[in-house]
Structure 1
Amino acid sequence: MTKKNNIGLYFGTFNPVHIGHLAIANYVVENSDLDQIWMVVTPHNPHKKKNTLLDDYQRLHMVHLATDDYDKIKVSNIEFGLPQPSYTVHTLAHLSEKYPDINFTLIMGEDNLKSLHKWKNYKVLLEDYSIIVYPRVSSGKIPEQFINHPKITSVPAPIIEISSTMIRQGIATGKDLRYFMHYQVQNYVEEMNFYK
């Protein structure tokens, strides 16, 4: 019997993708039994007016620019073809059906774990998938039911407090934030005049 591949799914709008996202993905894939991480670019939610959110394919392109030279991180646009808004439980079911030979694991920040009980069908999610949690500075407590849960593993990844919002605001006010993004992403952002 062939061994199933273990793939971690790291969801985000990645607007823009920055070194915090990349460092977390890099840390998790190198310090777990995952074979790869797929960065799943979340499409624009049509129910929200978000003039700061770049076009889906431009954000996808930036994640490609940042990760194409590293075999352990791949980019996924799976949600682009799914009904909106995207619910993680639906995306995971769709992926599991499409790739029956892969074990999928969800990667999330501690801030998301604190609100996981509000997610659509979160119990189904926990029955069928494992979750790797990385630390985030956030308020509130982790609900009792998720502490020592057999499907939830915490990793001591470095806490990186960089946000895409901070980068967008910085660029809009003329700051040079080249070291907060992969150099190819930074060049692309500049070339395309994004977030100005």
Structure 2
Amino acid sequence: MSIPKVGLFFGSFNPVHVGHMIIANFMATQTNLEEVWMVVSPHNPLKTKKTLARDHDRLHLVRLAISDNPKLKASDVEFSLPQPSYTIDTLSYLKEKYPNRQFALIMGGDNLATLHKWKNYELLLRDYELFVYQRPQHDLGELENHPNIKVVEAPLMQISASYIRRCLQDGKSVQYLVPDAVYQYLEEVPLYR
């Protein structure tokens, strides 16, 4: 029996939006990944923390976005790991906790170009498949042809969480920019206002 392959889609999801969901669903349904776990990162070492909503609020929004999609899962695995989170450490932890799963990474082409700055990136490349979605105006760099890199043509949207936060702060509607359940929640709870 083959070991199920799980794609890990890391992000601050601050907040999760339809662009994230399109990529997650594409990876779960149009690649050889059987599931995609949307891993809510408590604190990306390359980002400042002050603009982040609370960890559990962002996790709740991802759960709302996923709803009952059996191929997608919200993960808070990094909440209990040392901060700041490093992908290689999270993968080591998951490998130990779920020995009956095979893990792969999902990332944008912009991340691939800076992968050499990541902690133990050589181990990531050696031990894991990386599913990379192209980002316009981003060169994939010299790693594009690495045997563990799978470049996919996922549909992309020009939408950012920072744009959504600005809209919310300015009292503008974010309907259709975020999944319906997330929109309803953000209308009722002043998370980013």
Q: In which range does the TM-score fall when normalised by the shorter chain? A: over 0.9
Q: Equivalents in 2 of 1:49, 1:130: separation in Å?
A: 28
The one-character-per-residue Cα deviations of 1:64-103 (angstroms, maximum 9, x if unpaired) are 0010211000011000000001000000011001111111
Match for residue 183 of structure 2 among 182, 186, 196: 186
SS across alignment from 2:9: strand
The one-character-per-residue Cα deviations of 1:121-154 (angstroms, maximum 9, x if unpaired) are 0001111100000011244x3332x122110001
Q: Equivalents in 1 of 2:14, 2:156: separation in Å?
A: 19
Q: Which residue of 1 aligns with 2:161?
A: 164
Q: Which residue of 1 aligns with 2:147?
A: 150
Contact 1:105 1:132 in 2 (8 A): yes
Contact 2:16 2:61 in 1 (8 A): yes
TM-score (norm 1): 0.93
**Number of equivalences:** 193
2:70 equivalent to 1:71: yes
Superposed counterparts of 1:15-164, under 5 Å: 15-44=14-43, 50-139=49-138, 141-144=139-142, 146-164=143-161
Kindly state the Cα deviation for residue 47 of structure 1 after the two structures are TM-superposed: 10
What are structure 2's unaligned runs of at least 5 residues? none
Q: CA RMSD in A?
A: 1.6
Q: Equivalents in 1 of 2:68, 2:53: separation in Å?
A: 23
Q: Equivalents in 2 of 1:29, 1:100: separation in Å?
A: 20
Kindly state the Cα deviation for residue 49 of structure 1 after the two structures are TM-superposed: 5.7
Q: Equivalents in 1 of 2:192, 2:168: separation in Å?
A: 6
SS across alignment from 1:171: helix
- The one-letter code of the counterpart of 1:188 is Y
TM-score (norm 2): 0.95
- The one-letter code of the counterpart of 2:192 is Y
Kindly state the Cα deviation for residue 178 of structure 1 after the two structures are TM-superposed: 0.7
Kindly state the Cα deviation for residue 29 of structure 1 after the two structures are TM-superposed: 1.2
Q: Equivalents in 1 of 2:190, 2:144: separation in Å?
A: 45
Runs (4 or more) in structure 1 with deviation over 4 Å come to 45-49
State the identity as a percent. 50
Kindly state the Cα deviation for residue 5 of structure 1 after the two structures are TM-superposed: 0.7
Contact 1:52 1:195 in 2 (8 A): no
